[in-house]
Chain A
Amino acid sequence: MIYLDAAATTLQKPPEVYEAIRTAMQTLASPGRGSYPAATQADEAVYDCRVLAAELFQAQPEQVVFTMNATHALNLAIKTLVKPHDRVVISGFEHNAVRRPLYRLGADTVIAGRTLFSPQDTLRAFEQALTRKTKAVVCTHVSNVFGYVLPVEQIAQLCYRRGVPFILDASQSAGVLPVSLRELHAAFICMPGHKGLYGAQGTGILLCGRLPESIMEGGTGSNSALPAMPEFLPDRAEAGTQNVCGICALREGLRFVSRKTPAAIAAREQALLRLFIEKLRGSDRIRLFSSGQDHVGALSFLVDGEDCEQTAQRLAENGICVRAGLHCAPLAHESAGTLQTGTLRVSVSAFNTHREVELAVEILKNP
């Protein structure tokens, strides 16, 4: 099997990640709930993970909230800042994890920056879209469909200067590109634990530049005599028993990323995608969505005369795992003009090799 769907989840993990889940399941109880060793060891495991995440993303440990995935984190962030009819500015490349909560809230959503692979256009569009009425900006760091890197540092600066809370969706960038809560002055940064951080599915992180509203209330192991959720982090947003097994896996994933460094992982992934582009560019049957700039994580294309789902099926039958369709990001497809066709997406991780790329291209080109 050649796995090229890391933008959905990284299937291959460092061996320590698998081991961490097994050990946690066998030895750890609920954190913050007891004085006996199985509970206090869980306290320490969760805190270790918090510290590692805080160090990697330049935050304080208490600003690290564990969620069930990036979508959960985005819901917390968006529902804290946005109320019905509020004006919100988002990019033209947002995932449904951003679009749907805003739709549900009845927000007045303004879409800024529709041009693929044009950071200048994206930034200009945000500059024009921000008004005094703007209650929040939500922007993805990297398009999960096209691997397009948006100019989020500049957009965050713009928001900071104008006093508009900024939410970053780092679903495709965490573990690969620099992501700093401190540098971006972000209200919230949202990310999954199971993609570029190599943890388990069912984990995510919300980095909090401000206190979130709780969208789920319950036990926190603190202030238990009070009926209201605690007013402090991380407890305010962590109701109920935590996913300790997942957090232990994420801890090992974070150690892996910190050891390898995001820059080295990014360089490796970009080299693999460049090889893809180079090998596919020669084919007149393939329409590539690439600007020549470096992609991060993902690359989309279409094969002439073949539905993208058919291509994905053909590849699957040959042991190549890719994703086809709209990738839960119809807005990105609308922006790129591929809403009707969808695209075929390959996405890579630290575990892919040049040989895998060559084999995948060979099968792709020779039906």
Chain B
Amino acid sequence: MFFYAFTFRSLTAAQNARRLLLAQSITAELRRAPKQLSQQGCGYLLHVSARQGMAAYDALVHAGMQPEQQYRCFSNGDCQKVQL
């Protein structure tokens, strides 16, 4: 089982993205990015379920809020960068 993690450059950008997704009934949980996913330090990400991940990504791109990176993350903590 996995979930998608979308990274954003700032807290406000992640909050904007979460607000957009929520308006489309897509649940996204905002978290601070793990150090390994935060290239410049102190990044933010949204967790989206595997089921809603593609729809979430499409909605963000459509609204001009493309994440910096997309990851597929597993319960053991491993994350793989993916192209959606």
Contact = CB atoms under 8 A, between A and B. Distances in A.
Contacts of A221: 11, 42
A281 B31 CA distance: 62
B31 A35 contact: yes
Interface SS of A by simple majority? loop
B38 to A, nearest CB: 8
Interface in B9-49: 9-13, 15-16, 19, 30-32, 39-44
B11 A226 contact: no
A303 interface: no
Contact of B42 (A31, A40, A224, A232): A224
A88 B43 CA distance: 39
A28 to B, nearest CB: 15
A31 B31 contact: no
User: Interface extent on A, as a size class?
Assistant: 20 to 34
Interface string A317-353: 0000000000000000000000000000000000000
Contacts of A35: 31-32
Nearest to B32: A35
Contacts of A213: none
A61 B10 contact: no
A35, A44, A47, A222 interface centre (most CB from chain B within 10 Å): A222
B10 A225 contact: no
Given A62-B16, A225-B41, A31 B9 contact: no
Contacts of A235: 10, 12
Given A62-B16, A224-B41, 9 more contacts: A35-B32, A40-B30, A51-B19, A61-B15, A222-B9, A225-B40, A225-B41, A226-B40, A230-B10
Interface of B: 9-13, 15-16, 19, 30-32, 39-44
